[in-house]
Amino acid sequence: MDASPLSIEVVLIDDGSRDDTAALMQQLALADFRYQCVFLSRNYGHQIALTAGIATACATEALFIIDGDLQDPPELLTEFYRKFQEGYDVVYAVRKKRKENWFKRTAYASFYRLMRSISYVDVPLDSGDFSLISRRVADVLNKMPEESRFIRGMRSWIGFRQIGVEYERDARLAGESKYSFKMLQRLAYNGIFNFSEYPIKIITRIGMVTIGVAVIYLIQTLIKRFVYHDVPQGFTALLFAIVLFSGLQLIALGLIGEYVLRIFFQAKGRPLYVIREVIRDKERQPL
C-alpha cells in the first residue's frame, strides 16, 4: 500500500472472532486512516463476511477481495489493476498450485470440475473469491439478496468481461483454518444447488430408467408365465427392487429438500448479517 500510487482503502471484516483479532483491528483503524473495521454481531460465515465487506467499501473504481490469512498474495493487486485498466470488470485468480494436503487438493479439484460439468453458468476452474471487481459488478452483487451465497458463482453469473490470472498459492502463514469440512461441504452445496438444474433433472432421468427396467421385467415375467409356463419363485428380486427404489426415492426427496430448504430461508426475508460496530475515519472521503 505504501509503495502503490493508488489511493487504497482497506475494509477489515471481523466475523465473530474469538481471539484478539477485533482489538488489533480497532487499534490499526484508529492509527491509520486508510483502514476501516466492520464488526459483525456474530459469526455469519465466510461468504456473508465478504458480502458485508463488498457492501461497506465505498471505492468508486474497483474492489480487491482477499482473505486475511495471506495465502493469496496482496502484491497481485498491481497485475489485477493492470487487467482492470485494459477493460476487464472481473479479474480473478486461478490457482495453478496449492500447498495443502492431498485430500483438500483432490476435493477442490473434483468440486470445480463437477461444477463446470453441471452448472448453467461458466464458473472458472480452480478460482476462488480472490479477485478484483469493478464498482458496477460490486453494485450488482449488492442487489442480489440470496441467503445461500456462492460469490464466485454469482460473480460469473453477472457477466461483463472477465479474465483469470494464474498464481501459486502459498501455505497459510499462521494459525489454523476455521473452514471445517462441514463448512466446505455447505459451500459446495450452495454452489451446486444455486447454479445447477442437474440435481432436479437427474431425478426425472432416474425415474424414467427405473420405469423402463420395471416394464422390461414385467414383460419378461409374462413371457415366462404364458410361453414357457414358468412361474417365478421366491421374493429375492422383489425385495431387491423394493429396497433399491426406496433408496432412490429417499435420494430424490433429499435433493428436492435442498431446494425447498433454500426457498424456506430466502422466504423469511431476514437481513443477511447484522453489524455490531463500524470504525471509520469521519474525515475520510469516498474514493
Rounded to an integer, the average pLDDT of 15-34 is 86
Q: Residues 116-167: pLDDT tens digits? A: 777 777 777 777 888 899 999 899 988 888 888 888 888 888 888 888 888 7
AA identity, residue 244: L
Lowest-confidence range among 26-40, 185-199, 230-244? 230-244
The backbone torsions φ and ψ at residue 63, rounded to the nearest 5 degrees and listed phi first, read -120, 135
Lowest-confidence range among 97-111, 216-230, 264-278? 97-111
Domain ranges of the chain: 10-196+272-279, 198-268
When pLDDT is cut at 50, 70 and 90, the band that residue 29 belongs to is confident
Q: Is the pLDDT of residue 282 over 70?
A: no
Q: Which of 186, 80, 171, 179 is nearest to 133 (CA)?
A: 80
Cα–Cα dist 268/263, whole Å: 9
Q: Is the pLDDT of residue 34 over 50?
A: yes
- For the whole model, what pTM was predicted? 0.70
Which contiguous run of DSSP H or E holds residue 224? helix 198-226
Q: Residues 45-58: pLDDT tens digits? A: 888 899 989 988 88
CB 133 within 8 A of CB 62: yes
Q: Is the pLDDT of residue 254 over 60?
A: yes
User: What pLDDT was estimated at residue 101?
Assistant: 66
Cα–Cα dist 171/203, whole Å: 41
* Residues 6+ positions from 181 with CB-CB distance below 8 Å: none
Rounded to an integer, the average pLDDT of 184-202 is 72
CATH code assigned to 10-196+272-279 = 3.90.550
State the first-to-last Cα distance of the chain, in angstroms, to the nearest integer: 15
User: What pLDDT was estimated at residue 63?
Assistant: 93
- How many angstroms separate the Cα of 3 from the Cα of each of 6, 77, 95, 146? 9, 12, 26, 38
Decide which of 264 and 9 is more confident: 9
CB 69 within 8 A of CB 173: yes
User: What pLDDT was estimated at residue 284?
Assistant: 47
Q: Count the neighbouring beta carbons within 10 Å of the beta carbon of residue 79.
A: 15
Q: Is the pLDDT of residue 271 over 50?
A: yes
Q: Residues 217-238: pLDDT tens digits? A: 777 777 777 777 666 666 656 6
CB-neighbour burial class of residue 285 (10 A; exposed 0-12, middle 13-18, buried 19+): exposed
